[in-house]
C-alpha cells in the first residue's frame, strides 16, 4: 500500500536538496549531480538519497563521501523548509543502475555480434 504522506515527504526532500545542490553546493560546470530517488523510512528517521553523478574532475565516490560529510548542512536546510516534528538523518548513495544497464547492453551487443559472426 502506498503511503501518500511519505511519498509527498520524499518529493519535498528531493526538491529542497536538489535546489540546494544545484544553486549553493555544487554549481561549477564540471560536475552534475541529479537526485534520482529518495527513500525515507516509515518512521521518518532516515532518508536515503540516490544520486547520479557526472564529473570531469572528481570520482563519484569522492563526491558521495563529501556529500555525506556535509549532510548536516542538508538536514539544516530541510529543517528550515519543512514543518515537521522530525527531520530524517540523510545519507547519500551513488545510484549504479545506469552503469549496470550499460553493462547489460554491452553483453547483449556482444552476444548479438557473436551470433552474426557464426
pTM of the predicted structure, to 2 decimals:
0.77
**Does position 1 have pLDDT exceeding 90, yes or no?**
no
Instruction: Return the residue matching grid coordinates 547492453.
Output: 105
Q: What grid cell was written down for 78?
A: 530541510
* 83 DSSP assignment: -
At residue 50, the pLDDT reads 95
Q: Is 55 helix (H, G, I), strand (E, B) or coil?
A: strand
H-run or E-run covering 79: helix 71-81
Q: What is the pLDDT of residues 35-93, one digit of tens each?
A: 999 999 999 999 999 998 888 888 888 989 999 999 999 999 999 998 888 889 999 99
Amino acid at each position: 500500500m502506498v503511503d501518500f504522506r511519505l511519498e509527498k515527504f520524499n518529493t519535498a526532500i528531493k526538491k529542497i536538496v536538489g535546489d540546494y545542490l544545484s544553486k549553493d553546493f555544487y554549481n561549477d560546470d564540471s560536475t552534475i549531480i541529479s537526485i534520482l530517488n529518495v527513500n525515507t523510512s516509515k518512521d521518518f528517521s532516515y532518508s536515503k538519497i540516490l544520486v547520479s553523478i557526472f564529473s570531469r574532475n572528481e570520482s563519484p565516490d569522492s563526491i558521495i563521501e563529501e556529500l555525506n560529510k556535509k549532510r548536516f548542512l542538508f538536514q539544516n536546510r530541510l529543517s528550515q523548509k519543512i514543518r515537521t516534528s522530525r527531520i530524517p538523518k540523510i545519507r547519500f548513495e551513488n545510484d549504479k543502475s545506469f552503469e549496470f544497464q550499460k553493462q547489460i547492453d554491452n553483453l547483449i551487443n556482444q552476444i548479438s555480434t557473436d551470433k552474426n559472426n557464426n
